[in-house]
Amino acid sequence: TTLIETISTEDIERFFNKTVNEKNLKNNSIIIFGTGLLVRPMIDYYMCFRNFNLFLCSNEKESLKNYYKDYNNDKYLGKLYIFEIDLINIKKLNLNQLDFIEFDKFKDKKIERLDTEKLLLNTKQNCVFENLFKNSNIVIPFIPEDFHYFIAKMCIQYKVNMITSNLINEKLLSLEDEFKKCKILMVTELGLQPGLDHMLCTKIMNDAKRERKEVRSVEIWCGILPSPESLDNPIMHRLL
């Protein structure tokens, strides 16, 4: 676990060098933002792989502690690291000026109600935030949609792939050319709906076309709770 208040920015750099760079594990390191119900099955999956780093970030301290307690044991091959990060205040700071720790230097940034101690903490959080992106290959945000554009811009800056279950929107779509230029992926709508419903529906239609059948219409009912006897598939769900 990481208590940002008690460490220096140099300690942060050393941690990531030891955890990722020395072992050449950037391609095996994933950032996950959020600690909601959808996060746990994903962690279950990735923790089954040896030499896999998961960096779990949230402002929910108790949830982070629970995840750390549940997953850092001999049962799992991967390694879970937790970081308490306040994205709201990180968005307010200038991410390209991480060495500024004096309140006066931020007056023109219109940051409200931040004293010097709080600003120092957020500067350290920025250092963690920057190192997370520099030392990871994929970012998966399970946080409110308002933060996704900000996360996507960071992905472009550090050339990190982004995967999300959220719907695509105009702001994210405006970054398409920048993602292509950096040769990184931004894959959206990979949840249940939209996501699995579209994929399964496409598979059914493609199978029908291969059999030279005609698809006249498509109607999907999603979000229905199936009866226990109908849970006969790996995703434990039923699409009609």
Look at residues 93, 119, 122 and name the one whose alpha carbon lies nearest to residue 108.
Answer: 93
Tens of pLDDT, residues 150-199: 889 989 999 999 998 888 888 889 999 999 999 999 988 777 667 777 77
pLDDT tier, 128 (very low <50, low <70, confident <90, very high otherwise): confident
Q: What residues form DSSP beta bridges with 161?
A: 138
Tens of pLDDT, residues 86-122: 776 665 443 333 333 333 333 344 333 333 334 444 5
Q: What distance in Å separates the CA atoms of residue 193 and residue 174, rounded to the nearest whole number?
A: 23
pLDDT in the model for residue 234? 60
pLDDT in the model for residue 138? 93
Q: What residues form DSSP beta bridges with 53?
A: 29, 79
Higher pLDDT, 221 or 68: 68
Pair 95, 129: CB distance under 8 Å: yes
Strand arrangement of the beta sheet that strand 79-84 belongs to: 79-84, 53-58, 29-33, 138-141, 161-163, 186-187
Whole-number average pLDDT of the chain: 76
Tens of pLDDT, residues 225-237: 677 777 776 666 6
pLDDT in the model for residue 62? 86
Q: What distance in Å separates the CA atoms of residue 75 and residue 82, rounded to the nearest whole number?
A: 18
Give me 112's structure tokens.
């409200």
The count of C-alpha atoms lying within 13 angstroms of the C-alpha of 83, restricted to the half-sphere facing its C-beta, is: 27
> What burial letters (b/e) apply to 53-82, b meaning 16+ CB within 10 Å?
bbbbbbbeeebbeebeeebbeeebebbbbb
List CB contacts of 72: < 8 A, sequence separation 6 or more: 79, 80
Separation in Å, CA 48 to CA 77, 80, 83, 172: 5, 11, 21, 32
Verdict on whether the full-model pTM lies above 0.75: no
CA 40 distance to own-chain centroid: 13
pLDDT in the model for residue 32? 93
Tens of pLDDT, residues 208-219: 999 999 888 887
Q: What distance in Å separates the CA atoms of residue 189 and residue 34, rounded to the nearest whole number?
A: 17
98 burial via Cβ count (<10 Å: 0-12, 13-18, 19+): middle
pLDDT in the model for residue 110? 37
